[in-house]
Amino acid sequence: MACGCNRNLRDDLTEANALERIAKHPCFSFEAHRKYARMHLPVAPRCNISCNYCNRKFDCANESRPGVTSEILTPLQARDKYLLVREKIDHLSVVGIAGPGDALANWEKTKTTIMLIKQVDPDVIFCLSTNGVMLPEYAREIVDLGIKHVTVTVNCLDPETGAGIYKYVYYKGRKYQGPAGAEILIRNQQTGIAYLAQRGVIVKVNIVMIRGINDGQIPAVVRKVKDLGAFITNIMPLVPARGSVFQDFAPTDTEELNRMRDVCGLELRQMRHCKQCRADAIGLLDDDRSQEFSKASLEEKPAAGDGRAQKQNIAAAS
C-alpha cells in the first residue's frame, strides 16, 4: 500500500537520502530484490534470548527460516567465502550477518568479519540483524563501523505479552525470565533504535505476527518504532518450527497478515517481499543459491584448469 509515510525521519536522513541508500538493498527495497543479491554470513552462533518460535537445531536444504544454517564460519572463512561468491554471483551488493544466533551476542566475531571484508571491498553494503537486547551496548560501534542498515525484531511493547513470546533474556551475566526479561529487551530495543535512527542508520523492524499473542499490539508497535525513527517494518508470518514452544501453533493466515500490513502501511512503509531467509542465504531473495557454496558442494566439484588453484579456492571457502 502506497503512503506518504516516514515523515518522522531525522534531519540527517531525508526521505530522498534514505531511498538512495536502499536502492541496492534487496531487503529494504522491493525494486532491488529482483536485481541485487545478498549474502548472509553465519558467523554468530550464540544467542542471548530464547524465542518460543525459534529452533536453531534443525537444518534442511529446503528449510528457509531465520536461525538455520548448514555451517558456522570464522571471520577469516567468511571473508574468503565472500570473495568466492562475489566472483560467481552478479550484483552482489549486501553482506548481512543474521545469526544463526544474534549478531550482537557475538559482537567480536561480527565486528571482525565486517572489518576484514571492508579491507577487500570497502563499497559493499553491510547489514546486521539483532533482537536488540545489546543495542545500547554496541550502537555507537555500529555507527563508527559505518554500518548503515540494521534490522531489529520487535514483537511487542508490553512485558506481559513479551513473557508469552520469550522464555528468557540473558543480559549482562544474568538470566531474566517472564516479564522482567521482556521488559529489559523492550527497553533496550527502543533505546537502540532511537540512537541508530538519530545518527542516520536506516532501521528496519521485523515483527512476527502470532495469532492470539501479539497480533492485537502490532499497530501500536509500528506507531512506536515510527516515532523512534524506523524506516520500514516487516510484519512476518509465524512459521511454527518443529521442536519450538510454538511448534503446534497454526501458521499465520495470509489474508490476516496482508490486512495487518495494509493497516500498518497507513503509518509506515511495509516490506511485503520477505522470504524469512536462512542465516547462510546467498543470492537473490527469490533464488537462494547457498547450497552451491556449501563446503560439501564445493568439495564435490571436479577440478578444472589449474587444480592447485581449485583446491585453494575450496580451502578458502571452508
CA pair distance 233, 218, nearest whole angstrom: 10
Task: Give pLDDT tens digits for 147-191.
Answer: 999 999 999 999 999 999 999 999 999 999 999 999 999 999 999
CA pair distance 87, 292, nearest whole angstrom: 13
CA pair distance 276, 251, nearest whole angstrom: 14
Total residue length of the chain: 318
CA pair distance 263, 237, nearest whole angstrom: 16
pLDDT of residue 246: 85
Omega before 100 within 30 of 0, i.e. cis? yes
Residue 90: strand, helix, or coil? coil
Most confident of 49-53, 215-219, 238-242: 215-219
Question: Residue 69 pLDDT > 90, yes or no?
Answer: no
Distances in Å between the Cα of 107 and the Cα atoms of 112, 149, 170, 281, 288 are 8, 16, 15, 20, 26
Q: What is the pTM of this model?
A: 0.82
Confidence grade of residue 313 (pLDDT, cut at 50, 70, 90): very low
For residue 30, give the nearest of 266, 272, 233 by alpha carbon: 272
pLDDT of residue 227: 96
Residue keyed to cell 517472564: 178
Mean pLDDT of the chain: 81
For residue 192, give the nearest of 235, 140, 127, 232 by alpha carbon: 140
Task: Give pLDDT tens digits for 242-300.
Answer: 778 788 788 888 999 999 999 999 999 998 765 566 778 887 665 676 677 776 655 55
Which CATH code fits 15-297?
3.20.20.70
The domain segmentation of the chain, as residue ranges, is 15-297
pLDDT of residue 94: 84
